[in-house]
Amino acid sequence: MATSPARGGTTRLTARGRFLLGASGLVVALSLISASTALGSNEGSDSVSVVRDYEQITVLPGESLWSIARQIAPGFSARTGDIVALILELNNLSSSELRSGQELLIPTA
């Protein structure tokens, strides 16, 4: 029974392969930089973090954190996503799922 000889352990990249490997590394690096910039951005969050007044509301059927945040957003100079994050934090919620009748603390302007 004949077997073929084992290939050597070296891998050779063509010029195209080296280009694609470098380009994919660049894409990953730029993605990481973009993500860290977005996560570290404080744009709009200063006005939300200064809020000291809150009120308690009861969640109505069909309401979501986003719909509640959109209703109160005009009183703040913050993005709706920042208000959603604040409501999650205020109420120690681990997810954005709400149920009808649930009591929530929300910031007031």
What is the phi-psi region of residue 62: left when phi exceeds 0, alpha when psi lies from -120 to 50, beta otherwise? left
**Same-domain pairing of 85 and 71:** yes
Number of folded domains that form the chain: 2
| Res 100 pLDDT > 90 | yes
- Domain range enclosing 91: 45-107
- Least Cα distance to 109 among 77, 76, 70 occurs for 76
Average pLDDT of 104-109?
A: 85
pTM of the model: 0.52
Q: Is residue 51 part of a domain?
A: yes
- Report yes or no on 83 lying in a domain: yes
- Residue 41: the pLDDT is 53
Residues 102 and 49 in one domain: yes
- 8-29, pLDDT tens digit by residue? 667 787 888 888 888 887 788 7
